[in-house]
Chains A and B, each alone.
Chain A
Amino acid sequence: MTAPAPADVPILQTASSLVVLAADTYSSLQALAFGGGPSAPAPLRDLLAAALDELARARTDLATATRQAGGRAQTNADPRYAPVVEQALPTVRGPGDVVGLALTLEDVLAQTLVSDVVDLSAPEVRQTVAGHAAAAARRKALLLTFQSLLSTGRAELVASPPDLAALPPAAGTVGFPDVLFPTEKASPATEGAVR
């Protein structure tokens, strides 16, 4: 087994900071009636709950890898995006806003994790991070689908199970827009490093 190298520390800390921010944001969104409450579409409510579980695992795994690499685990939210989220949260007015904010964060998180897989030195950590990138990508796919359906003005289409006959054909493909997962929005490794 190859231990993570010290050069991996800022990469892992930045990934952690995005995970912390995403989890904090999901917690806030879950507390809203139209996010995790009774007036939320069931699939959105389920996604928020599942995301919190998955992000908790990511936080633990990334903290462990950071310590193995000789660093201190990052427990603070990403400093660049945290103020933006703080500003955005009071403007969330319905499920579409919940999806929009979550989608933006998930896209940055997923792209950062995918980029990290390429840059990390230890194979075991690469695999762990790849697993969390896949989980973030799953959430992004669902959020893209929900966003597309909510934009039609027919919130009832976001149901579990959905009425397949009523779904627009694009609902089948809107969740995977890229052949290879992009990385142009990946956060730089220094962004969330512990200073």
Chain B
Amino acid sequence: MKRVSSASLRAASMKRISSEPRRAASMTALPRRRFLLGLGALAGAGALAACSNEAPAGAPPAEAPPAPPATTTAAAPTYTGEAALVALGAAVSALAGELLGEAASGAGQGRYGAVPGAVAAYLSGAAAQHVAHAEAWNRLLTVAGRPAVDGAPLTVEPALRGRLDAARAPVDLLGLAADLTGTVTATVTAITGQVTEASAVALAAGVGPVAAMHGASADFLLGRPPTAPDDPTAGALGPDALTV
């Protein structure tokens, strides 16, 4: 009986979707196109994820050329206006993808002791989706004629990487993941209310809830209460967090 009841609810949903357009035709076309654009940008997510787990570069060799002389003229930011918000989305997703991917790699190498299979799967699975999100954000930039964001140029990157470097046990990785995905969720939720370009709104709408699911999964594994934040944008990064 229980399965029939749940199934009937789902069937009602599916039937309605197939028989009744969500909006008037002229209004449905746009959202669908927007989501298709975002989905198209996610092609090859697995391969991208595999490329994201590189260890951070080490210190430069002794014979490295000296740094260029300091200048008193500040360089113009690479991204301004709405592009800066899209770049922020790319950077924060890339940061989560990089750090969680490195955590997964380190777990596979025994760096954090015995890592339960559920934790290892979480880290690699969430990392792959964040990398795919970064690629989708970057696709929006390149389609608009802007350069893709290279890596995760964010002011918060050194501190968060420091937390990963200091991690010693699976619970440290999960704590970092919970905080990091919370930052991604808050940032993308804030972006949703700041961008106006249709494809950016649609991508933010589809990415934010997935990042929230990463956070909820990490919280469960940690045994934390299942409460969503009262302020969904608390802790969000702004464009001023970009270092490019």
Interface of A toward B, CB cutoff 8 Å: 43, 46-47, 50, 53-54, 57, 80-81, 84-85, 87-88, 91-93, 96-97, 100-101, 103-105, 108, 110, 114-115, 117-119, 123-124, 126-128, 130-142, 145, 159-162, 164-165, 167-173, 175-176, 178-181, 183-189, 191
Contact = CB atoms under 8 A, between A and B. Distances in A.
B222 A91 contact: no
B215 interface: yes
Given A47-B226, A123-B196, A180-B42, A133 B209 contact: yes
A80 B5 contact: no
Interface of B: 1-6, 8-10, 12-14, 16-17, 20-23, 27, 31, 34-35, 38-39, 42, 45, 114, 116-123, 125-126, 129, 132-133, 136, 170, 185, 189-190, 192-194, 196, 198, 201-217, 220-223, 225-228, 230-233
A139 B228 CA distance: 9
A141 B118 contact: no
B50 to A, nearest CB: 15
B169 to A, nearest CB: 11
Contacts of A169: 117-118, 120-121
A66 B144 CA distance: 34
> What 10 A-B pairs come out closest when comparing CB atoms?
A161-B223, A127-B193, A131-B232, A172-B122, A137-B209, A169-B117, A88-B5, A180-B206, A172-B121, A141-B213
A118 B226 contact: no
Of A87, A103, A162, A176, most buried by chain B (CB within 10 Å of CB) is A176
Given A46-B225, A118-B31, A118-B34, A134 B23 contact: no
B217 A134 contact: no
B9 A104 contact: yes
A84 B116 CA distance: 40
A195 B42 CA distance: 40
B119 A115 contact: no
A40 to B, nearest CB: 13
B9 A84 contact: yes
A35 to B, nearest CB: 13
23 contacts: A43-B220, A43-B226, A84-B12, A100-B2, A100-B3, A104-B6, A104-B9, A108-B13, A117-B205, A118-B201, A135-B228, A138-B226, A141-B217, A145-B217, A164-B116, A164-B119, A170-B121, A175-B213, A180-B136, A180-B207, A181-B208, A189-B22, A189-B23
